[in-house]
Structure formats: C-alpha cells, structure tokens
Structure 1
Amino acid sequence: MHALWPCRAVLTLSLLLCSITTAALAESLPPPEGEVLLRVTGDLDHPNVGAELHLDRAMLMALDQGVIETSTPWTEGVGRFEGPLLRALLEVAGVDSEHVRIRALNDYEAEVPVADFHQYGVILAMKRDGAPIAVRDLGPMFVLYPFDEHPELLNETIRHRSVWHVGSVHVP
C-alpha cells in the first residue's frame, strides 16, 4: 500500500500541473501569429480577438491532444488520427454550455452535445497517420469520434455531428 503512495502523488501532481497549464493558457492566449484555422464565437469567457477566439495551427497543437485509431465511414482502413481534444478547446475558450454548433467551411452546421466530448474523447482531427489532413481529405480539421472503440457510434446522428472542413465553433 505504501509503495503506491509515490505513484499517486506523482499522478496527482501531474494532473494538477496540466490543469494549471490549461487554465494559464486560457487566461493569456494571444492573438494568432499564423493563418487562422478556427474561430470560436458566441458565449465564451476567453476571447483573444475582439469577442472571438481565433486559433492558428500552432495554437491548436498546443492544446491537450488526443489520438484515435479507428476506421471511419469516410476513409479506407484504420487510421491514426491526432488533434486537440474538443473538451480542451472549450476549456481554453472558457465555454460553459450544453452544446455547440460546429460549422464547416461550406456552411454545413451540426449541433453537438458537449457531453460527447467528455464521454468519448472526441477530437478535432488535424493529422492522419502523422501527416496533416488536406482539405480534399476532410481537412484541415474534422470532428472525429472513436468509432472502432464504440461501435454504437456508427449511426446517422453521430455521422451528422462528425463535421468535415471545420472552420468555426459557435457557443449559443
């Protein structure tokens, strides 16, 4: 029992430091220096450009990342997808909402419950098998659920929530 104490202490300290880092990032996020890939609009506490949060690739990659190895209804075979956890994005933006509206570059929109982000570790996929996802291949970002890990997600509702070519997130 006593041998586990140092491991628990290190784990607790690591989790605390992660939460402090995320909170510090949210409080002091500067405007982006590179091309804006994502805009978060609406009811958020931590904007960085006017009343919006604008993020470039470097800023998105600095958020807590997730990795999902899965097949999808739109790609061939199993891929290793990487990108920021959507729950981390909302935390940095200072969002307290039950759902968000995710909009594609072509104006397609889907309302997505924030609970999905926590329950399934949904990511904003930016890489597949180590390479950036091109616009012609669902990129530069798309909402990705862990389909192989949770086969119950292979339904029409979740497919509609899996927005491709993401350009913005709106918080009502």
Structure 2
Amino acid sequence: MKRLLAAVVALFTLAFSLPVIASEQDILLTVRAGEDVHEFTIRDLRDLGEREVVTSTIWSDGEQRFVGVSLDRLLSHVDVAEGTLEAAAVNDYAVEIPMSDVRAGGPIVAYMRNGERMSLRDKGPLWIIYPYDSGAEFRTEEVYSRSIWQLNRITVK
C-alpha cells in the first residue's frame, strides 16, 4: 500500500511540475471593447500576421527572440482606435497601456520565445513585449511596468 501511495504522489508531483502549454483550440486572449467581445486562439493570433522582436529584457539573460502579433494590428482587427487598454493576467494582475503605445514598431503580444511556445510557468502563454533594444524610449520603468506576462484579457476603457 505504501508503494502504491508513493507512486501516486510521485505521478501527481510530476504532473504539476511539467510546464503546461495551451492547445491550439484554447482561447488564450479575450479583447473587450464596449459590448464587443473577441476571443482568440493561438491560430487566430497567428492568422493576424506574425512579427518578430529580438531584444534583451530585464527578466532574462541575453537576447531573446519573441514572435507574436503587433498590438496595433490586433486592435485594428477588432476596430479599436481610442481609449486606454487594461491588460490583465491570469492571476488578475492588471496594467494600463495608453493608446499612444499602440503603433507600428511598438509592442507585440508574444506567444513564442526563442522558438518555443511559452508555458504559464514561463511567463506565457502570452506576454506583451516592447522592442526594448530599439530605442531608449522603450527602456523606461513605465514601459517595463506595461510588459505584462501571463496575459489573458484586454479591456478597452
């Protein structure tokens, strides 16, 4: 009986220590703009067009390669051009992002890092990434504070 219990505990521990990657069918992101609600799977986000940002971050060592959809393209797709964005994470942590950040060459909603999908444990499945290395305006405390990981919803206010 002790061996069986030990085996069950070991399997349970292993299951919860493995990184969990969302499936292709899982809704990863919900965007709310007034009465409109848009839900996106990883495939939906990819279909909007991919953009790569290669940059260092304050949360990782060395240069990282992120792939995702440009925030400006995502918001254009849902027909949002004004307001303030409230970006929220799985744990309900939220940040405000001004529409002035939503521009060509600005942040992406990243779903891949260094060629791999990001698990919840690895700041995924979605992470708002700015091109920090492309200019000093992206390396400020304010911009870093908007780089929310484990993103799962955006509400336009």
TM-score w.r.t. the length of structure 1 is: 0.73
Consecutive unaligned residues of structure 2, counting only runs of 5 or more, are 1-23
CA contact (8 A) 1:87 1:114 kept: no
Q: CA deviation at 1:119?
A: 5.1
Query: Is 2:30 the partner of 1:42?
Result: no
- Which one-letter code corresponds to 1:143 in the other structure? I
Q: Which residue of 1 is the match for residue 21 of structure 2?
A: none
Task: Measure the CA separation in 1 of the matches of 2:81 and 2:138.
Answer: 25
Residue 72 of structure 2 is aligned with which of 80, 83, 87?
87
CA contact (8 A) 1:66 1:121 kept: no
The alignment yields a C-alpha RMSD, in angstroms, of 1.6
More RCO (CA 8 Å, sep 6+): 2
Aligned residues: 134
Task: Measure the CA separation in 1 of the matches of 2:99 and 2:32.
Answer: 15
Task: Measure the CA separation in 2 of the matches of 1:89 and 1:160.
Answer: 21
Q: CA deviation at 1:129?
A: 1.5
Report the identity percentage: 32
- SS of equivalent residue, structure 2 residue 28: strand
List per-residue Cα deviations over 1:18-47 (Å, max 9, x = no partner).
xxxxxxxxxxxxxxx811000011327xxx
- SS of equivalent residue, structure 1 residue 124: strand
Q: Which residue of 2 is the match for residue 69 of structure 1?
A: 54
Structure with larger Rg: 2
Q: Which residue of 1 is the match for residue 115 of structure 2?
A: 130
Consecutive unaligned residues of structure 1, counting only runs of 5 or more, are 1-32, 45-50
List per-residue Cα deviations over 1:54-86 (Å, max 9, x = no partner).
111100111122111000011111011100011
Determine which structure has the larger helix proportion and give its number. Answer: 1
List per-residue Cα deviations over 1:120-151 (Å, max 9, x = no partner).
32100111111111211111011100111113
